[in-house]
Structure 1
Amino acid sequence: MENDLPGPTDAGDPVDRAAGTDRTDRPGLTGPSGLTEEPGGIPAAPSAPELLAERFQADRGHLRAVAYRMLGSVGEAEDAVQEAWFRLNRSDVSEVRNLSGWLTTVVGRVCLDMLRSRASRREDPLDFYVPDPVVREEGAADPEKEALLADSVGLALLVVLETLAPAERLAFVLHDMFSVSFDEIAPIVGRTPAATRQLASRARRRVQDAAPTPDPDVTRQRKVVDAFLAASRAGDFAGLLTVLAPDVVLRVDGGALTAAASKLVRGAEAVTAQALTFAKYRHAARPVTVNGAAGLVSLVHGAPVGLMAFTIVDDRIVEIDIVADPERLAGLGVR
């Protein structure tokens, strides 16, 4: 999903199309360094498109992180970054002093358009929607996923961001998460800087009221999740109640194919009564990190059939988000 789209350094990439030539039409050959080489093998100075590609590639991780927080979708985030690359190649940026800042605002514009389009055609209830998780095998290094979550963004926060109006989300994400000034954000949303500040302020209040701040220690989180799993396996309702916060929220996203599985349950006793929901995790559960927090994935014949993400505050589970959508599970890259 993340790597299906062409990148600016791939063979046949947009750099060549933007330059209006094919690599075979250039006077030099492309060497392993990415610089052109003269026939004698001596590296020549990089062309302007190649320099642009290098600059874009250096910012790509940051741009994907911005787009993921804006959209809550790994695939759509990659689409937004690719669109920014196309726009870069169609623009004269010779007078741009801060290309990274320019690219960030371009990605913001693209994401805003995507959010508005999504809002106009959305049919699935937000009550059941779980944004795309970023899943990593515990103990495995994955620089791309770590860059995507450099500033930890849990699923609980992404769920709240989904409830914001597109302009509010953009103002909050760009300003509060990436320190973009209101003067720079204002033209994107078509408001004055003062009005843009108000957008971010409203969004901030909603986030603070609705998004819990999870415990940062993943090791302590894992102990709570292990206790939850042990109680579930034993059918120990009392044990479940000890690890669940009184106002815990359970959200299950079954997607279009298994929509009947989607549900929203509130309260420790009501969530405990849903113990059968956790049945698939009793025997084939494997620990993973989900958006930097402790989680579980259930595998059948090596393929994921369910993913659980936990938000834990003061050693109690305050939110459980389950992805049960077969299509999205297939794209997790977990085996």
Structure 2
Amino acid sequence: MDSSAVDRFEASRSRLASLAYRLLGSAADAEDAVQETFLRWQAADRARVGVPEAWLTKVATNLCLDQLRSAQARHERAAGAWLPEPLLEGDPMLGPADTFEQRELVSLAVLTLMEHLSPVERAVYVLREAFSYGHAEIAGILDITESASQQHLHRARARVGAGRRRGAETDPASARRVVEEFLAAAVSGRTERLVALLTDDVTAVSDGAGLARRLLRVRTPERVASFVRAGFKPTAAKRRLAGGSPAFHIATVNGSPAVLAVLDGRVVGAVAFGVNDGQVASLHGIAAAERLGRLSGAWGRHEPDAPVIDAW
């Protein structure tokens, strides 16, 4: 392959990775899809490719659809043990973040809600909402009609919208203060304060520190407060599981404020918060090591703020 063809692909790599991550919710799977797209670009008769960007987008998108439709993916996601892989602020795989809608689309809350969409609905939703493709372009990428693209988008918007609480975007400083107060209440055991910081329709989802076969889902402020209090309460058993006594940092993950448990430079747990109007509307807790590798690597390469809790 000549250098100009490689350069052309590399110019699209970041966009393709961001697209694949939004479709698959996994950085590792997204990287595999991008690499396979490169191999197909390498083998293609490029003289017959009219618009390389459109060709690459079509190939990457359909590789992701094949992955979503695979028996293994259907089993893992249907089994209720799947959560998106969290990414640290600044990760290029997070992609476009110019608008509130683009930032919201990559939040763990919305990525989890997109599990309720069919693969084609998910692809239409991502291509339209995150990358502003027109329905004619989407129809060409997915080999469907423009009318079908419009129908898929309508259903996707309705399904995702029904599962999330919309509100004005909270500025990062305000959201961080809410999370700091929430963490202080959780660690100190002030359950009443925790309840006051939660919306009436709050939801909490956790992978059970990577030990549960199914995701743990909790609703109502009282139950979520008790769940969080139990999770953040330090015990000798939890320290053994973590491998020591981690420090807690506030960071931004997938565009949302998050608490990261860090031990010897490694992220061993992450809780991402959805904050609306000064209250916590959703929590996503992830501690399975296979979902934290990229986040932990990125954490080790940047200069973190001082921990809000030095030792747990």
Range into which the TM-score falls when normalised by the shorter chain: 0.7 to 0.9
Cα distance in 2 for partners of 1:121, 1:192 equals 26
Residue identity matched to 1:272? A
2:63 paired residue number: 110
Alignment check: 8 A CA contact 1:127 1:264 kept: no
In the alignment of these two chains, the number of paired residues is 282
Q: CA RMSD in A?
A: 2.5
Q: Secondary structure at the match of 1:135?
A: coil
| CA deviations over 1:257-296 (Å, ceiling 9, x no partner) | 5126841001100111111112259972111111122101
Q: Does 1:144 align with 2:107?
A: no
Residue identity matched to 2:202? V
Match of 1:306 among 237, 260, 269: 269
Q: 1:316 to 1:98 in 2, by over 3 A?
A: same
Q: Does 1:92 align with 2:45?
A: yes
Identical positions, percent: 35
Q: 1:283 to 1:77 in 2, by over 3 A?
A: closer
Q: Does 1:202 align with 2:155?
A: yes
Q: Does 1:211 align with 2:159?
A: no
Q: Does 1:289 align with 2:252?
A: yes
| CA deviations over 1:181-219 (Å, ceiling 9, x no partner) | 323333554432212221111011112221344634111
1:322 paired residue number: 285
Cα distance in 2 for partners of 1:260, 1:111 equals 25
Using the size of structure 1 for normalisation, the TM-score is 0.76
**Which entry has the higher C-alpha Rg, 1 or 2?**
1
Q: Does 1:172 align with 2:125?
A: yes
Residue identity matched to 1:294? P
Q: Secondary structure at the match of 2:116?
A: coil
Alignment check: 8 A CA contact 1:128 1:252 kept: no
1:8 paired residue number: none
1:52 paired residue number: 5
After TM superposition, give the deviation of residue 128 of structure 1 in Å.
Answer: 5.0
2:135 paired residue number: 182
Residue identity matched to 1:133? P
Cα distance in 1 for partners of 2:141, 2:165 equals 29
Consecutive unaligned residues of structure 2, counting only runs of 5 or more, are: 239-244, 301-312
Q: Secondary structure at the match of 1:162?
A: helix
Alignment check: 8 A CA contact 2:201 2:221 kept: yes
| CA deviations over 1:243-265 (Å, ceiling 9, x no partner) | 1111110100147x512684100
After TM superposition, give the deviation of residue 95 of structure 1 in Å.
Answer: 4.2
* More displaced stretch, 211-220 vs 76-85: 211-220
Q: Secondary structure at the match of 2:14?
A: helix
Q: 1:167 to 1:299 in 2, by over 3 A?
A: same
Alignment check: 8 A CA contact 2:124 2:152 kept: yes
Q: Secondary structure at the match of 1:131?
A: coil
* More displaced stretch, 65-74 vs 208-217: 208-217
Q: 1:85 to 1:261 in 2, by over 3 A?
A: closer
2:22 paired residue number: 69
| CA deviations over 1:129-170 (Å, ceiling 9, x no partner) | 32011124xxxxx46356476642211110011221111111
1:24 paired residue number: none
Q: Does 1:272 align with 2:225?
A: yes
After TM superposition, give the deviation of residue 220 of structure 1 in Å.
Answer: 0.8
Q: Does 1:222 align with 2:170?
A: no
Higher RCO structure, 1 or 2 (CA under 8 Å, sep 6+):
2
After TM superposition, give the deviation of residue 120 of structure 1 in Å.
Answer: 6.0
Cα distance in 1 for partners of 2:76, 2:166 equals 29
Using the size of structure 2 for normalisation, the TM-score is 0.82
Cα distance in 2 for partners of 1:181, 1:119 equals 32
